[in-house]
Amino acid sequence: MAIERIVADVDPEIKRKAEDLKRVTGKPVKTIISELIEQEYKRVVKEE
């Protein structure tokens, strides 16, 4: 799936932060990273 490839290419620092968020929220790392990407996309599109 595409999301696995995207998550695999994410910066290691972001992955570490996502692991920290996983401990707090209980959400899977893939979900956390997907949500971050979606938020950033919406922010960028809104600015244009």
Domain residue ranges of the chain, discontinuous segments joined by +: 2-47
Q: What is the dihedral of CA 15, 17, 20, 21, to 10 degrees?
A: -100
Share of the chain above pLDDT 90, in %: 31
Measured distance CA(48)–CA(15) in Å, rounded = 28
Coil, strand, or helix at residue 14? helix
- Six-digit token pair at 7? 């998550």
Q: Which residues contact 15 (CB under 8 A, 6 or more apart)?
A: 7, 29, 33
Is residue 21 very low, low, confident or very high in pLDDT (cuts 50, 70, 90)?
A: very high
Coil, strand, or helix at residue 9? coil
Is residue 9 very low, low, confident or very high in pLDDT (cuts 50, 70, 90)?
A: confident
**pTM of the prediction?**
0.71
